[in-house]
Amino acid sequence: MSFRILALTLLLVLPAHAADLVTRPGAVGHRDFKRAKQVLPRVYAGLEQTLYCGCRYEGKRIDFSSCDYRVRKDERRGSRQEWEHVVPAWNIGHQRQCWKQGGRKHCTATDPVFRKAEGDLVNLVPEIGEINADRSNFRYGVWVDDPVPMYGQCKTVVDFRQRRIQPRQAVRGRIARIQMYMAATYGLRLSPLERRIFCTWARAYPVDAWERERERRIVRIQGTGNRFVTDPGLREKFCAPA
């Protein structure tokens, strides 16, 4: 871990032990993933919009007419809302010893830091199940200015051969700030290319009203949120040359 990431980690929230995870829906604090899903509807109440395609949803039902979405292949998951990890659980786990000993299930059962990261509300967003599945653990990137649509009129596209996803422009800044938060808070490694992409996105696509409101709600429920949303100086420190 670089000195810069280590310093930012100390500025943010150091990963805690399992005893710090709350279990009651009304309690304030970090949760595991199962309990995070119970409170996420409170975070997005009135803000119900999927990340990659901007589709409205009600309950678990996607409103296709709100975004001109067209199912690519999976009718079952294409019609329902799920919770997407912006930094995939695979990425979190593969940087921890527990994954080598038994994968995600073993990490959830034995590693309190993984459990906290897996359920961190900052990293969880509503998404169409089909795109959640298609994205898998692919990395973010940009490779085409005017992508050929894959999901109706949705501007997000997936490259299965190269294992990458290009998100629509409107949400690139949100994704970048979440990536920065997860890297700094949990000591996750980013490649030089990923760092350049996320720093570019964070500057090109500023924090908007939706992101600010989401941040306020996460802080009320979790006790802490994403300081890369509220502190522009922290973003610049993260992106400063090593």
pTM (2 decimals)?
Answer: 0.91
Alpha carbon distance 171, 169 (integer Å): 6
What is the average pLDDT score of the chain?
92
Identify each DSSP E strand in the chain by its residue range: 56-58, 61-63, 81-85, 124-128, 139-140, 157-159, 164-166
Torsion over CA: 65, 70, 76, 82 (sign): negative
Strand ranges of the sheet holding 139-140, from the earlier edge strand across to the other edge: 139-140, 164-166, 157-159
Residue-wise pLDDT tens digits, 100-135: 899 999 999 999 999 999 999 999 999 999 999 999
DSSP string covering 56-116: EEETTEEEGGGTT---SS-HHHHTBEEEEESS-HHHHHTTSHHHHHHHHHHHHHH-HHHHH
Residue 138, φ and ψ in degrees, nearest 5: -65, 150
Confidence of residue 17 (pLDDT cuts 50, 70, 90): very low
Residue 4 has a pLDDT of: 52
Q: Which residues contact 211 (CB under 8 A, 6 or more apart)?
A: 173, 174, 177, 229
Return d(Cα 206, Cα 232) in angstroms, integer: 10
| Residue 1 scores a pLDDT above 90 | no
Tokens of 181: 């938060």
Whose tokens are 């010893």? That residue is 97
Amino acid (1-letter code) at residue 25: P
Can you tell me the mean pLDDT for 224-242? 93
Residue 7, pLDDT score: 44
- pLDDT per position as a tens digit, 39-92: 999 999 999 999 999 999 999 999 999 999 999 999 999 999 999 999 999 999
Query: What's the confidence (pLDDT) of residue 30?
Result: 98
